[in-house]
Amino acid sequence: MEYLKNGKEWEMEENYQYKFRAECVQDVDNLKERLPGRYDVQFMEGFPDVEVRLSTNLNLNEVLKVMETVPDGHVMLETVEHEEEYTGVRKYFRRAERPKGRKINKP
């Protein structure tokens, strides 16, 4: 699978494996438009929910930042974990970590 980086094609190395839930496959489709990687989508019997395995070169915080941009992507954001740590339990109101700003001393 090839992607563009700085206007040049490059081969993406999948270094990280994640697992998460989504309310529906359309949420995953929206994520795919924003986050390159390999996706394995499993439908949950009797529900519109899906469970997803994602292989990507982005670390967890970078994945969270991208998921924050997906409209109604809160279930993905609240359940994504490294595959070996995945439980499917939601971490409500979870957000990506942001660097702390420097305090400006006013004269």
Please write the tens of the pLDDT for every residue from 46-58. 888 999 999 999 9
Number of domains in the chain: 1
Residue 96 domain flag: no
User: Which has the closest alpha carbon to 90: 77, 79, 81, 74?
Assistant: 79
Query: Which own/partner pairs from 11-15 qualify as long-range (CB within 8 Å, at least 24 positions apart)?
Result: 12/36, 12/37, 12/56, 12/57, 13/57, 14/38, 14/55, 14/56, 14/57, 15/56, 15/57
**Model pLDDT, residue 1:** 39
Residue 2 domain flag: no
Residue 61 domain flag: yes
Cα separation, 40 vs 71, in Å, equals: 21
Residue 5 domain flag: no
Residue 107 domain flag: no
User: Which has the closest alpha carbon to 91: 62, 107, 67, 70?
Assistant: 67
**Model pLDDT, residue 57:** 94
Sign, Cα dihedral of 94, 95, 98, 103: negative
Residue 19 domain flag: yes
Residue 58 domain flag: yes
pLDDT at 13 exceeding the cut of 70: no
Give the whole-number percent of the chain exceeding pLDDT 70.
79
pTM over 0.85: no
Residue 52 domain flag: yes
| Confidence band for 14, pLDDT divided at 50, 70 and 90 | low
Question: For residue range 17-38, what is the model confidence (pLDDT) as tens digits?
Answer: 999 999 999 999 999 999 999 9
pLDDT at 69 exceeding the cut of 80: yes
Domain of 57, in residue numbers: 10-85
Identify the CATH number of the domain in which residue 16 sits. 3.30.70
**Model pLDDT, residue 104:** 53
